[in-house]
Amino acid sequence: MIAIRELHDGEFDVLDAVFDGLSEESRFRRFHAPVRGLTANARRALAAVDGHRHVAVAAFADGRPIGIARLIADGTGVCDLGVEVVDDVQRAGVGARMLRAVADLAVAAGHLLVQAEVLSTNRAAMRLVLSVFPDAVAFPEGTTTRLVAALPVCTSATAGTLPCAA
């Protein structure tokens, strides 16, 4: 059974467990560089979830952290997307479930756009983003592709399905 819940500030144990479950190749795809470990500054930044500017969800399988999806806003309504799923459960739908959940949190926080910078060779990540944001526009930029999509606007029609802000 897979459970998804909002990630809270300072949950370093979840962050570390997911990072440790990524192969070198998955870390390269996620961070666009060969990353053996997270620096203290990177760990602090990734664990600094505040529920508004930085929203995140984590997925768990039988209590074990297996993924994190996050959106970090830049102050203009645009959120940068990051997602990682441990290798042994990739391609099982966990990423899409987390993306939908974190997008709901971003909508509730009033954010307007999501963007993801993906390695152009990472077709699985592009398919994942497009599966959740089918209207995303792709902007190839050398070795990366930036995918940009509008987040749904929270209206009375969506209030029953999204955790709309009051």
> What is the CATH number for 109?
3.40.630.30
Residue 16 covered by a domain: yes
Residue 76 covered by a domain: yes
Residue 156 covered by a domain: no
CB atoms within 10 A of CB 74: 12
Residue 29: which domain range? 2-150
Query: Under a CB-based contact definition with an 8 Å cutoff, are residues 68 and 99 in contact?
Result: no
pLDDT tens-digit profile, the chain (166 residues): 899 999 999 999 999 999 999 999 999 898 888 888 889 999 999 999 999 999 999 999 999 999 999 999 988 878 999 999 999 988 889 999 999 999 999 999 889 999 999 999 999 999 999 999 999 999 999 999 999 999 987 544 444 444 444 3
Q: Count up the domains in the chain and report the number.
A: 1
Angle at CA 71, nearest 5°, toward 69 and 75? 170
Residue 155 covered by a domain: no
Eight-state DSSP code of residue 65: E
Between CA 139 and CA 51 the distance in angstroms is 29
Residue 56 makes CB contacts below 8 A (sequence gap 6+) with 6, 7, 49, 68, 69, 70, 71, 102
Residue 159 covered by a domain: no
